[in-house]
Amino acid sequence: MQRLKSSDPDFPRAFARLVKDRRESDENVARDVQTIVADVRLRGDEALAEYTAKFDGHLPADDDWRIPAEACREAFDALKPDLRAALELAAQRIRAYHEAQLPEDRDYTDATGMRLGARWSAVDGAGLYVPGGRAAYPSSLLMNAIPAKVAGVERLVVVTPTPKGEANPLVLAAAHLAGADEVWRIGGAQAVAALAYGTDRIKPVDVITGPGNAWVAEAKRQLFGIVGIDMVAGPSEILVIADGNNDPQWIAADLLSQAEHDPVAQSILITDDAGFADQVADMIGVEIAMLPTAKVAKASWDAFGVIIVVDSLDEAPALANALAAEHVEIATDDPEALFNQIRHAGSVFLGRMTPEAVGDYVAGPNHVLPTGRRARFSSGLSVLDFMKRTSFIAASDAALAAVGPAAIALADAEGLAAHARSIELRLGI
């Protein structure tokens, strides 16, 4: 764990290194993915079969690549009542939040008499990557699938690896609850390529979303343009801004809530109380010892954990904006005062009683958020990631007469005579 103090002479340099640190895939991953993507594009299902046998340790029978809807329903029905109720509550809250995001069409006539507007429509098909094995998260399936369905996507395709042929029942249950139309037993970069290009078995989609490892993220990056993607996601990260009036055990648990995701996840604490910083650091060790995910959490905290002690929390917003973290908790008496100054963050959690973990499951806003400082220019997943806007124009005789001469002048200035002539002919010039 690294400890910084904003009053130290070397702090600007050390903090700049922290901001610039990249914890994402290397060139070897990019080359491997490029090979896999090209192979799937060329050989389709044959390549998928080979990669599934190689990486997942099994080869589905010809009629077993697609998991039937009945199996997903049975998995949902088999859930313990409290877990089923929890999934249903999460789905209800996620759906309600995202329904409020639906954009409105525009249709109006301006002062010249020209009709203008825009119409929103959903993509035809969306693909959702769902990790399997250790990193199988039904919550992520809900967070990706429900916005797609709210947007109006008619065909939602889930791909999920099934190591040794075993499908994760929680993933299947969530797929049923979210209304997935197809569920396929494939994973890795090869699954992303199959969604983008299509194979004999799997029709291509228009947008691909969902979390995955470095190979999945790199495949999405390489295939952007062939399909739309939600984002290129890197390792998870959390920034906690906390004063000394917090329970250090709570804050330690909050920091570890992201550290347990990945050995290269990052957890950062900013506080104005050096004694509190010491208490949190001590509680980190206590909490790690109790976690079943201790090995991963400890590796993350030891390598990438950071505690920054500032003279005043007034310094925190500028540091937070530079970090542009995926998750930002503000655990102070007046979180709104700091929140009003934070411009770059994936999602912000206000107050001592709002741990980031509640946002991962049941709060309602999406937990698919930009990492790696991408919150400077991008947002979390929303219904808009599954929609596109089409503008339209309808010019009356009077409207074209009012604005046409200016368009002709601009076309002439750009040397585009056919542009100008298409307007001139209509105006009789």
Which residues have a catalytic role annotated?
Answer: 326-327
Short-list 336, 301, 339, CA closest to 321: 339
Distant-in-sequence, close-in-space partners of 282: CB < 8 Å, separation ≥ 6 = 248
Which helix (H) or strand (E) segment holds residue 104: the answer is: none
* Dihedral, 299, 301, 306, 309 alpha carbons, nearest 10: -150
By the 8 A CB rule, do 327 and 369 touch? yes
Question: What are the two backbone dihedrals, phi and then psi, of residue 328, each rounded to the nearest 5 degrees?
Answer: -130, 120
Inter-CA distances, 381 with 94, 145, 147, Å: 12, 11, 8
Short-list 120, 119, 179, CA closest to 144: 179
Length of the chain: 429
CA distance 114 to 174: 48
Which two structure tokens, joined as six digits, stand for 222? 């390489």
Residue with tokens 């089923």: 84
DSSP per-residue string spanning 273-325: -HHHHHHHHHHHHHHHHH-TTHHHHHHHHHHH-EEEE-S-GGGHHHHHHHHT-
